[in-house]
Amino acid sequence: MKSILPVLRIVALVTIAFALMEFLIPTGGELAIVKYPILLLVLAVVLLVAIAIEISVAALGSILFKSLNEEARENYLRKESEKEAKFGKWFKDLSSKLTSVKPIETEGEILLDHDYDGIQELDNDLPPWWKYGFYASIIAAFAYMAYFHVFGGISQKEEFQIEMAKAQLAVEEYKKNAPDLIDASSVTLLIDEADLKIGKQIFIEKCVACHRADAGGGIGPNLTDEYWIFGGDISTVFNTISEGGRPGKGMISWKQDLKPAEMAQVGSYILSLQGTNPPDPKAPDGDLWVAEKAL
């Protein structure tokens, strides 16, 4: 008993340190120790310090013990063994109380009077540890009912929905900050001056050869009018830039050359030119685009 006490103390200390860290360090659901692996180092230090303290205390104890005279030593040892005996007895009493059964000598008193081909049955009480566990579960059931059905505790389903809503927000936030994840279904029309300026740069570099500097059209169609072959909403325009036009027409797929964010920028720039009526435009291609069509 005495020899495992220091070990128990060390384990308890490290456990408390761990629990404190998990409790005090906000991590948004993750284990702190997983999120910040440096905490493992902190735990290791706590462990080492605990071991060092135990060793020092034990060493001090044995030095003090050696400095005692014969009588005092005996006195000390007796007291220690008394302490241990007391604890042992308490433990034994408790466990026998929790596991008490009818002693085998008096079993006859609880023998039921039926007999199945020689198999008989004792009417034993449930072992007390079992019974107490049963009572505890009854109490827990009331606590559970009160918490979830009377005081409106959050059910698993609601917990799930809250988590999902949080995750949804996180995904949206992530997508916002990671523009290169944009695709035709998530792209939005950019109206920011800075974005349109970059879009214009890209247009001048890559697109004017066919669509003309004012986008009035050349080899490629006029991009400033309301007539579109594929569609005049940002999502369709993005898709055309990304995937290209019909085979053999000259409009290649740009997704190898341009990042999704850049395709959104040049697409938005093109759409910002709607209705600019450049001189001498190319005749309309495609159909009159009515925004409602997209709905």
Q: How far is the CB of 24 from ligand HEC (least distance, A)?
A: 53
**Which of 122-130, 152-160, 178-186, 234-242 is the region at the interface with ligand HEC (rule: CB under 6 A)?**
234-242
Closer of 278 and 286 to ligand HEC (Cβ): 286
Shortest-Cβ-distance residue relative to ligand HEC: 245
Rounded Cα distance, 285 and 225, in Å:
9
Q: How far is the CB of 160 from ligand HEC (least distance, A)?
A: 42
The greatest distance separating any two alpha carbons of the chain, rounded to the nearest whole angstrom, comes to: 119
What would the x/- binding string for ligand HEC be over residues 201 to 230, using CB under 6 A? -----xx-xxx-------xxx-x----xxx
| CA–CA distances in Å: residue 12 to residues 8, 45, 58 | 6, 15, 18
Which residue among 6, 128, 245, 278 contacts ligand HEC (CB under 6 A)? Answer: 245
Closer of 133 and 250 to ligand HEC (Cβ): 250
Other Cβ atoms within 10 Å of 62 Cβ, number:
10
| CA–CA distances in Å: residue 267 to residues 198, 201, 203, 219 | 11, 12, 9, 18
Rounded Cα distance, 253 and 246, in Å:
10
Rounded Cα distance, 107 and 109, in Å:
5
Which residue among 182, 187, 196, 251 contacts ligand HEC (CB under 6 A)? Answer: 251
Positions in the binding site for ligand HEC (CB under 6 A): 206-207, 209-211, 219-221, 223, 228-230, 237, 240-241, 245-246, 249-251, 254, 266, 270, 285-286
